[in-house]
Structure 1
Amino acid sequence: MRHLHLLPCREWNPSINLDKLWTLVPQEVRDQAATKKAGEAVPVIDCIANGFFKVTGRGELPKIPFIVRAKDFTESAEKKIKEAGGACEKVK
């Protein structure tokens, strides 16, 4: 008997675009991040905690340093995040 219908969906991979990335951060944290100076703590955007596993590269980002945690990034998303002064953390 086939059991493929009993296996979990292996390709389920919800994604978020760069233009929607800052909506995961509360407004007061966004305001604080915009006024911070170099060397201070930066906001961490945890996509996995918000239900997204992949970050895609559609859209633009503000030139504010930040850290993005996700399971996967597209090449264009990584490039745009690094250009904006951010960092990408791949989480397993």
Structure 2
Amino acid sequence: TQNKFHRPIVNVETLWNLVSEQTRANASETNIPVIDAKRAGFGKVLGKGKLPNKPFVLKTRFISRKAEQKINAVGGKVELIA
């Protein structure tokens, strides 16, 4: 049977692995990368781990409060999508 409430999770420490090496190298204050957790196959982002001090935009369906605080602390932004 399929669980319709199952949401694969990803921690903030592995979010930068979802971005290509070229995008990571080109990331700057004017060129902020967008990470789409839903497109990568994850339904929820949790707050385990540390983030590099580079801002990014995260698109996800569900996010924990701790993960959102960590992303905002490095200058990033969280966008909730349906």
What TM-score does the superposition give when structure 1 sets the normalisation length?
A: 0.84
User: Is 1:62 the counterpart of 2:52 in the alignment?
Assistant: yes
User: Is 1:82 the counterpart of 2:76 in the alignment?
Assistant: no
User: Please, which of 24, 29, 38 is the counterpart of residue 30 of structure 1?
Assistant: 24
Mark the runs of 5 or more structure 2 residues left unpaired by the alignment: none
Tell me the CA shift for residue 65 of structure 1: 1.2
Question: Which runs of structure 1 show a deviation greater than 4 angstroms over 4 or more consecutive aligned residues?
Answer: none
Mark the runs of 5 or more structure 1 residues left unpaired by the alignment: none
Letter in 2 for 1:86: G
What TM-score does the superposition give when structure 2 sets the normalisation length?
A: 0.93
Question: What does residue 13 of structure 1 align with?
Answer: 7
Larger radius of gyration: 1
Letter in 2 for 1:9: N
Letter in 2 for 1:60: K
Q: How many residues align?
A: 82
The CA distance in 2 between the partners of 1:11 and 1:53, in whole Å, is 10
Tell me the CA shift for residue 41 of structure 1: 2.9
The CA distance in 2 between the partners of 1:84 and 1:58, in whole Å, is 15
